[in-house]
Structure 1
Amino acid sequence: MTTLLQRLPQAWRDIGGLDTAEEIAQQPTLWRELAGHLAAERTRLADFLGNSLRNPHQRVILTGAGSSAYVGEIVADELNAAWPCQVRAVATTSLLTHPELYLEADAPTLLVSFARSGSSPESTATVQLLREVVRDVRFLNITCNPSGQLAQQGAQDKSVFNLMMPPASCDRGFAMTSSFTCMLLAALCALSPNVQPQRLEALAQLGEQALRNWSAPVAALAAKPVRRVVYLGSGPLEALAKEAALKILELTGGQVLAMANSALGFRHGPKAALNDETLVVLFRSASPLARRYEQDLLQELQREQIAARCLTVGVDAEIGIDAAVWNDAGAATWHDAWLAPLWLLMAQQYALHQSALLQLRPDNPFAGGTVNRVVQGVTIYRHDDF
């Protein structure tokens, strides 16, 4: 009988984790589906964007809340380096509280919103805020839910482009998994110059190999209880570390504390969190320079033996991709933002298994409703009332 991430599907169903397990495992399939969808939308999206990304005065703000904000943080620098326009990631939770720091009335602005449900109060309020504050503003909604408020409110508006993700990416489980990687790859494909659809096919093949080869060692790693997990990454992978830390914090209901930092930044105080119940996971960069810095930190942690274990994931790592397959895919030329979805497959599985180890229900680890799939309890205040 076929197993799913080291358990039978019925076993996942019995503990309330089948949705999350399936949504982690389906991601390479969805990346292929996304490639076809992006190819079909290419001309319409190009017409919407025009030459705006070549305009040095154009501002592009990548936004979202929680995991969706981390999508923007991972891709922002990659896109900013590719175009003359100004690209930055600013969470909706910052735009709403300090709009004067991020918005300029006379600067042409493209707001790129990442949203799984598209119905969080911050997402819709941020769109309204920019409509009121910025004179020349357009909206690119990268979202998984065609019925969400974000997609619905712009359906007939020429200043809005709704780029929908594959239907199955709108995760049924509590944690964002498929939605995260699909939106990340959609942003890179839609907003990067000269990206060919073959890259998503190559990524899907690498993802399938990762799921086959990593599921057993990751399940074995997660069978050992920990109290703290530290994820580290350089450059765009620091934002990936934030997402990985959030995944285990969410799926363990806060019972496993997690933090994220950069490899170089970790020594500047956060290293104090280490003890003999801590797992350290270092995402290895595609950049040889970054890997040299990362290797120094790794050797330091191994010498000191304060943490229970230090594990590397990524390029030239303990959990990585077979070199022959890596070269065949042409992945040696890819930057970290493109590789982030692969490394996240490890962190998602680890969080899922840790949730099961703690006898929680991974599809809904907060049965009491203290944290919700779509955020609740937010009151929106008008920016011009203060």
Structure 2
Amino acid sequence: MKTKKSAYTKKEIEGQPKLWQLVYNLILAEEQGIKDFLGPLFEQKDLEIILTGAGSSAFVGEAAQGLVQINTGCLTRAIATTDLVTHPENFFPNNNKPVLLVSFARSGNSPESVEAVNLANKFCSNIHHLVITCNKEGELYKYSEANTKNALAVLLPEEANDKSLAMTGSFTSMLLSVLLVCSRGSVVNFEHEVGKIIEQGDLILNSYESLKELTHLDFDRVVFLGSGPMLGIARECHLKLQELTDGKVVCKHDSFLGFRHGPRAVTNEKTLVVYLFSGSEHVYRYERDLAVSIGADPRGIWSLSVGRKEDQEINANLNLDLQFEQDQQFNVVPATIIGQVLGYYKSLQLGLDPDNPSVSGTISRVVQGVTIYDYPENVNI
């Protein structure tokens, strides 16, 4: 993986397992202060948790939503800031219902993320903010520091603040962080699970050559499939490969069951299907049925199987056994690396620079060109 290009992307992808240990150590060290802030909120009747962010940061919430709801016992919704800014009246309760807005932000400077906080304060009379960010100079971090009565910031290690265009370590660090801070028990209880995902991350990174060979297949579209929390990871992988290849490879994501209901029409002889399998035996039965069906397609659809032992009936071009454990919650974290590595190698193959793959400059590290307009007192939905 040596190249003059992608100095940041390469380092940031490979540094994730060590970064997860740093994140775990940080949350463990700050656990008491975090629980002092969140504990009373989780005990409030009818607390609603809204997980938000823009782009990849929004997909952190999508992946974490179900697990946060299970672990806190509170209604949890993942709503992108790009939806909150245009239609706040559709999502924020305008009564005294308690709301915890969890904002994920690499830079903390995205216009929509800052405005989502402002709108939450306007619409919700009982609002608290948890900001999980990678940048101490960002607007969201500064807001939290200035409003400690109802806001708390979790500032991740500097290594999480990606310098490349595509979010890699920042994404997985924010995802791991929210799963840790929204657990009811002590963070020390997750030491084994964090150790397990570090092993799984290393396993993927040690499979670089096999993944590199896969990207030399002549595909121009990729479908990522996942179920439950892994669906959010499928969406992030979809974005990662598509942006790192500057849109030259068109990607799609879906659930295994949802893919049967029409979207499967996208597959052709130049399609790679990536199966992000669940650790749940019950869920896997549904997933395997679809994978076997695609494996039997006479067009010879290419596929990558992630998470499970090799199954000859699935007929995958490559299988990565991550040795998922039945009750492992955090397996969504290492699975994210799959889209990053595929995107990285396909970007290089296409002659692009993964650090700055957008030849036209239409996408940038922090979104440009967004004007925020004052929310009117009376608005037609």
Cα distance change of structure 1 residues 306 and 98 upon mapping to structure 2, 3 Å threshold: farther
Alignment of 1:49 with 2:38, yes or no, is yes
Counting only pairs closer than 5 Å after superposition, residues 359-370 of structure 1 correspond to structure 2 as 359-370=351-362
Counting only pairs closer than 5 Å after superposition, residues 1-386 of structure 1 correspond to structure 2 as 7-8=1-2, 11=3, 14=4, 16-105=5-94, 106-158=96-148, 159-194=150-185, 195=187, 196-198=189-191, 199-212=193-206, 214-306=207-299, 308-317=301-310, 318-321=319-322, 323=323, 331-335=325-329, 338-385=330-377, 386=379
Normalized per residue, which structure has more helix? 1
Deviation per CA, 1:260-305: give whole Å up to 9, x if none: 0010110111111111010001111111121111111111111123
Between the aligned partners of 2:141 and 2:83, the Cα distance in structure 1 is 22
**Contact persistence 2:49–2:77 (CA under 8 A):** yes
- The aligned amino acid for 2:114 is T
**Contact persistence 1:280–1:307 (CA under 8 A):** no
Q: Match of 1:264, SS?
A: helix
- The aligned amino acid for 1:283 is L
Name whichever of 44-53 and 268-277 sits farther off: 44-53
**Contact persistence 2:274–2:304 (CA under 8 A):** yes
Query: What TM-score do you get using the length of structure 1 for normalisation?
Result: 0.91
Deviation (angstroms), 1:307: 5.3
**Contact persistence 2:222–2:273 (CA under 8 A):** yes
Identity %: 37
Between the aligned partners of 2:300 and 2:160, the Cα distance in structure 1 is 36
Between the aligned partners of 1:130 and 1:290, the Cα distance in structure 2 is 36
Query: What TM-score do you get using the length of structure 2 for normalisation?
Result: 0.92
Deviation (angstroms), 1:197: 4.5
Report how many residues are paired.
365
Deviation per CA, 1:20-77: give whole Å up to 9, x if none: 0110000000001111111111011111113221334111100001111110011111
Q: Match of 1:359, SS?
A: coil
Deviation (angstroms), 1:259: 0.2
Deviation (angstroms), 1:113: 0.3
**Contact persistence 2:44–2:98 (CA under 8 A):** no
Q: Show structure 2 runs of 5+ residues with no match.
A: 311-318
Deviation per CA, 1:332-360: give whole Å up to 9, x if none: 4213xx10121122221111000000001
- The aligned amino acid for 1:267 is R
- The aligned amino acid for 2:344 is L
Deviation per CA, 1:236-260: give whole Å up to 9, x if none: 1111110000001100000000000
Name whichever of 273-282 and 338-347 sits farther off: 338-347
**Contact persistence 1:234–1:262 (CA under 8 A):** yes
- The aligned amino acid for 1:358 is L
Q: Match of 2:86, SS?
A: coil
**Contact persistence 1:274–1:306 (CA under 8 A):** no
Between the aligned partners of 1:348 and 1:293, the Cα distance in structure 2 is 26
Between the aligned partners of 2:283 and 2:68, the Cα distance in structure 1 is 19
Deviation (angstroms), 1:382: 2.3
Between the aligned partners of 1:19 and 1:290, the Cα distance in structure 2 is 37
Between the aligned partners of 2:10 and 2:353, the Cα distance in structure 1 is 12
Q: What's the counterpart of residue 3 of structure 1? A: none
Deviation per CA, 1:312-344: give whole Å up to 9, x if none: 1113352122x5xx6xxxx44213xx1012112
Between the aligned partners of 1:84 and 1:22, the Cα distance in structure 2 is 38
Q: Match of 1:155, SS?
A: helix
Name whichever of 176-185 and 46-55 sits farther off: 46-55
Q: Match of 2:274, SS?
A: strand
Between the aligned partners of 2:288 and 2:196, the Cα distance in structure 1 is 28
Runs of 4+ aligned residues of structure 1 deviating over 6 Å after TM superposition are none
**Contact persistence 2:227–2:256 (CA under 8 A):** yes
